[in-house]
Amino acid sequence: MDLTTWMNNYTTQSDFTLVGFFSQSKHPALLAVVIFVVFLMALSGNALLILLILSDIHIPIHLHIPMYFFISQLSLMDMMYISVTVPKMLMDQVLGSHKISAAACGMQMFLYLTLAGSEYFLLAAMSYDHYVAICHPLQYPVLMNHRVCLLLMSVCWILGSLDGFMFTPVTMTFPFCGSREIHHFFCEVPAVTKLSCSDTWLYETLMYVCCVLMLLIPVTVISGSYTSILLTVLRMNSAEGRKKALATCSSHMTVVTLYYGAAIYTYIFPASLHTPEKDMVVSMFYTILTPLLNPLIYSFRNKNVTEAMKKLLGVSTLFQETVK
């Protein structure tokens, strides 16, 4: 398809219609309120975690080591990620309109692909950071210096954006001749691709291969890192050291399991196992619930973060003054 034909088709396309959870719910208003509350909690939780890490310069607890730098980036991605889908979904329910233009659909698709792809690699970078901290503690300041952290973070964002640049233009240039109802609450690639009246077999095959590679590389890094960590922990003489190392890694593994599990179902499992309802439930899990759970996992299970939170909120000072 040449550029002129594509532009003509693109500008004359009618809007897509997002058919999400609310149309199938018996209590759409209650569901909208619950999602809105979860959205606010996810935003506030991640924002508070970022604030704690950035404001730690005024708190005598060191949250500026690489691990917390990566956690702050994870929180930033989660805030952006949930903001790409939920506000549109809630506004549609309030206004009674479920339309989305082709341009807005493409932008939403690009942003969520970029953020999701970046988070895949960020979780791998975090596991490598844990590996260096536990298996090579004496070399940690050199191997994970500020420049290395920025480089790793830049690579995560670049690889994630490649994901968006590869899939979004191709998906949005397919001809959509029939129904333009997307059986999803946002413009996810598989849901939009199903609407095309052209043969998408080759594209779906290439997308499958790319997704396998994008998941395989981080999973390989994570598996290798945690295998080495487990072997190192088992050789530790200090029970306290083993407990601390396992607590740190278990938090990260919880996030990895939640996020990669949903991604593998969405992009790796065969189409015969998918239904629009299942796809929406899984997508709801990793686009809405995971951003809510991440700050809880990394705060309540982390002594340094909880202590920093108390100091930032003045809980300790208030308690001491009450005792006096």
Per-residue model confidence as pLDDT tens digits over 65-122: 788 889 889 999 999 989 999 999 999 888 888 889 999 999 999 999 999 899 989 9
* Interval 191-250: pLDDT, tens: 899 888 888 888 888 888 888 888 888 888 988 988 888 888 877 776 766 676 676 677
Q: What are the backbone dihedrals phi and psi of residue 183, each rounded to the nearest 5 degrees, phi first?
A: -80, 70
Cα separation, 40 vs 46, in Å, equals 10
**pLDDT for 321:** 45
Cα 250 to chain centroid, rounded:
18
Residue 255 has pLDDT above 80, yes or no: no
Task: Please enumerate in sequence order all residues whose Cβ is within 8 A of that of 143, keeping only pairs 6 or more positions apart, or say none.
Answer: 132, 136
pLDDT at 11: 44
* Structural contact between residues 16 and 106, judged by C-beta atoms closer than 8 angstroms: no
The separation between the first and the last C-alpha atoms of the chain, rounded to the nearest angstrom, is 77
Query: Which residues lie below 8 Å from residue 307, measured CB to CB, with a gap of 6+?
Result: 61
Which token pair is 323? 């005792």
The H helix count followed by the E strand count for the chain is 13, 3
Q: How far is CA 259 from CA 51, 286, 287, 291, in A?
A: 24, 6, 9, 10
The pLDDT value given to residue 8: 47
Domains and CATH numbers, the chain: 20-305 (1.20.1070.10)
User: Model confidence at 275, in pLDDT bands (50, 70, 90)?
Assistant: confident
Which pair of structure tokens corresponds to residue 295? 């700050």
- The better pLDDT of the pair 303, 90 is held by 90
Mean pLDDT throughout 53-75? 70
Does this model's pTM top 0.75? My answer is yes
